A and B are shown apart, each in its own frame.
Chain A
Amino acid sequence: MKEEIIIAGFGGQGVLSMGKILAYSGIMQDQEVTWMPSYGPEMRGGTANVTVILSDDRISSPIVHEFDTAIILNQQSLDKFEAAVKSGGLLLYDPNGITAPPTRTDVSIFTVAATEEAAKMGNAKVFNMLVLGAFLKAKPIVQLENVVKGLQKSLPERAHHLIPMNEQAILRGMEIVERRASA
């Protein structure tokens, strides 16, 4: 198994930490992982993206330009990465703020209204875990128990009381993800 994933959105949406939790989940099931962020003079509200690779075998390049999965959280990132999804791959996006939805017909397209759901839940911070849940429903590459272990490893001890809330959000994301009918 090898999965090459790009997660892209605004700084402050939890893009990098979602990638980190996903990578840790892979480690928990004995996989090789790489996590490569875009870095630069970036800030809250700017664009942020991270490439995460999970594989049963040694990973060659952490830098790839085509992806099995794109998790897209704003219009700029959709414009940038829609064409980079491999044919037959998966594109998951939050429709909030998307004015020009994806047009690819050779990839599976899923949506998750995570911004809206996080607002309903009254907790914007679980946004990225709703998205992660949606992704894992669409493509169950890591088991939920390993994600919880991943949360334990990637969060500092003082934040461990927040793990049940994050787990709830992952489960909720799994419920609200929708497969878009092919065009």
Chain B
Amino acid sequence: MSELRLMKGNEVVAEAAIRCGCDAYFGYPITPQSEVMETLMELQPWETSGMVVLQAESETASINMVYGAASAGKRVMTSSSSPGISLMAEGLSYLAGAELPCLVVDVSRGGPGLGTIQPSQADYFMATKGGGHGDFHLIVLAPASVQEMHDFVFLAFDLAFKYRNPAMILADGVIGQMMEKVQLHAPLPRRTDEEIARSSGSWAVTGKRNRRRNIITSVELDPAVHEKFNQKLQAKYAAIREQEVRYEELLCSDAEYLIAAYGISARIGQKAVELLRAEGVKAGLFRPITLFPFPAKEIAARAAQLKGILCVELSAGQMVEDVRLSVGNRLPVAHFGRNGGVIHSPSEVVEAMKKMIND
């Protein structure tokens, strides 16, 4: 059924897209994620599954092509890195406003501005707090391995269609560029027009035939009507918060100190936990897998047994705000992170933890 390979995180996004029956990819090259489109161009899925792969003239064009294909109920995706995602912000807001499912992959790099091509996790705010105007959320998944880069393509599309909401895979330059072994899912066929009409015909523009017409729009000039729509969106986000939280805990059952980290920082944090345990510090790792919805209740449930939480991110401190909101003033929450493309070492994380313990 499945196949074992050694692949880069970026390459596997392309493989997974084809294998999950994706209908179209629109993108524009940018380091450190260019291998996504390069791999798609090499694999030429238009010859096999019929998937469309198109290099657009810009990120702005890509996200609007995604809007078009998503309107027709297609499984459609794009990928980029931080500055490119900024260019897509308007489109993301429109997709959320029109309740369109799609997948956006951000293999983030150091900012702000054109910044650096080296890894970073400074897009957390942009990804989880909107990333465009208006009251909206993307569903945000944070892979910490090449295998999860593969698995989350499938999961992101499932969630996007379940909630009619754009989903994002928020990775970083390390996860995109490194190779690990990966078990590939057996290829699934693309959905036929009839299947799309059956599953998404209540909202998608699939060709009218014998039903009332579907309209894809994010505009509503009557404030009373628009408030109701916003309330409906918020109810959807509440349901997502209730049902879709995912996280991983390592060595947490007897932990006194927690490292909270996602993506590559969770891998580095895990090594730091190993080193701290070897020195007799009861450390554990809490890894949010969904960044929206954030596992707020789950990390708060650990708080009673803990003496402190160290939030490790390749940023000046973004997720740490959600950790503080989750646990309140019950215990010290500190942040450690290199940024601007510099990657912290496990031993630097160990030192930061010891500093927190001694302060």
Chain A, Cβ-Cβ closest to B343? A63
Chain A proximity of B279: nearest CB distance (Å): 16
Of B46-54, B172-180, B236-244, the one with at least 4 CB within 8 A of chain A: B172-180
Contacts of B347 in A (CB 8 A): 65
A32 to B73, CA, bound (A): 39
Q: Is B271's beta carbon under 8 Å from chain A?
A: yes
Chain A, Cβ-Cβ closest to B173? A39
A59 to B268, CA, bound (A): 10
Q: Is A36's beta carbon under 8 Å from chain B?
A: yes
**Contact indicator A33/B274 (Cβ below 8 Å):** no
Interface centre among A39, A61, A153 (most CB of B within 10 A): A61
Chain B proximity of A2: nearest CB distance (Å): 11
**Contact indicator A23/B117 (Cβ below 8 Å):** no
**Contact indicator A20/B6 (Cβ below 8 Å):** yes
- Interfacial residues of chain A within 30-82, with CB under 8 A of chain B in the complex: 32-37, 39-41, 59-65
A60 to B274, CA, bound (A): 9
Q: Is A154's beta carbon under 8 Å from chain B?
A: yes
**Contact indicator B267/A35 (Cβ below 8 Å):** no
15 contacts between A and B (CB under 8 A): A20-B6, A23-B6, A27-B4, A27-B181, A35-B179, A35-B180, A59-B180, A60-B270, A61-B268, A63-B346, A64-B271, A64-B345, A65-B346, A65-B347, A153-B6
**Contact indicator B178/A41 (Cβ below 8 Å):** no
Q: Is B264's beta carbon under 8 Å from chain A?
A: yes
Tell me which of A34, A36, A40, A62 contacts B118 (CB under 8 A): A40
**Contact indicator A36/B174 (Cβ below 8 Å):** yes
Contacts of A27 in B (CB 8 A): 4, 6, 181
**Contact indicator B274/A32 (Cβ below 8 Å):** no
Chain A count of residues within 8 A CB distance of the other chain:
22
- Interfacial residues of chain B within 326-354, with CB under 8 A of chain A in the complex: 343, 345-347
Contacts of A37 in B (CB 8 A): 177-178
**Contact indicator B179/A34 (Cβ below 8 Å):** yes
Contacts of B345 in A (CB 8 A): 63-65
Interface residues of chain A, those whose CB is within 8 Å of chain B, are 20, 23-24, 27, 32-37, 39-41, 59-65, 153-154
Q: How large is the interface on B (under 10, 10 to 19, 20 to 34, 35 or more residues)?
A: 20 to 34
Tell me which of A39, A65, A153 contacts B177 (CB under 8 A): A39
- Interfacial residues of chain B within 84-107, with CB under 8 A of chain A in the complex: none
- Interfacial residues of chain B within 296-320, with CB under 8 A of chain A in the complex: none
A65 to B342, CA, bound (A): 13
If A33-B6, A60-B274 touch, does A23 touch B179 (CB 8 Å cutoff)?
Answer: yes
Give 13 new A-B contacts, CB below 8 A, not counting A35-B179, A65-B345.
A33-B179, A34-B180, A36-B174, A36-B177, A39-B32, A39-B117, A41-B117, A60-B346, A63-B264, A63-B267, A153-B5, A153-B6, A154-B6
Chain A, Cβ-Cβ closest to B176? A39
Chain A proximity of B25: nearest CB distance (Å): 22
Contacts of A61 in B (CB 8 A): 267-268, 270-271, 346
Contacts of B118 in A (CB 8 A): 40
**Contact indicator A40/B117 (Cβ below 8 Å):** yes
Chain A, Cβ-Cβ closest to B345? A65
A34 to B179, CA, bound (A): 6
**Contact indicator B6/A62 (Cβ below 8 Å):** no
Contacts of B173 in A (CB 8 A): 39
